[in-house]
Amino acid sequence: MHAHTMPAKKARFIPLSDRKAYHRFEDVIGCKWSTLVVAAVSQGVTRPGELERYIPGISTKVLNERLRKLVDFQVLSRTEQSGLPARVDYALTDNGTKLAALLEQVRLLNAQHPDPAS
């Protein structure tokens, strides 16, 4: 235990590893549209233009930013196809597949509960 003067069952602070993990999750998924991009790719929509049309309301700029960040965080992988016009495919990594499964469960959870009263 890292808190040598506290009761053994209660830490003084939330563990640093927890903090890092949750802040990282915030960085990856906390941004608007990120969950929808991951969900869309897991539903088989893999090309940028298709994603832009499939997700109403998203802008080209934000879509590209999310894709880049999701690739950086190894949730998605990016593959350029040969030939023209240019063609790119995004796909879930192993890590991304697991995250998408968790997001799917969150979606089901949310579907069971109405919005809060406004």
Query: How far apart, in Å, do the first and last CA atoms of the chain sit?
Result: 45
Q: Which of 29, 63, 76, 92 binds a copy of itself (CB under 8 A)?
A: 29
Question: Is 90 in contact with 76 (CB distance < 8 Å)?
Answer: yes
22 makes contact, choosing from DNA, a copy of itself, none, with CB < 5 to 8 Å by partner type, with: a copy of itself
Dihedral angle computed from the Cα positions of residues 81, 63, 74 and 38, in that order, rounded to the nearest 10 degrees: -100
Of 59, 74, 97, 105, the residue at the interface with DNA (CB under 7 A) is: 59
19 is an interface residue for a copy of itself by CB under 8 A: yes
Q: Do 70 and 108 contact (CB within 8 A), yes or no?
A: no
Count of residues making up the chain: 118
Per CB under 8 A, residues contacting a copy of itself are 10-14, 17-26, 29-32, 35-36, 39-40, 43-45, 53-56, 72-74, 95, 98-99, 102-103, 105-107, 109-113, 115-116
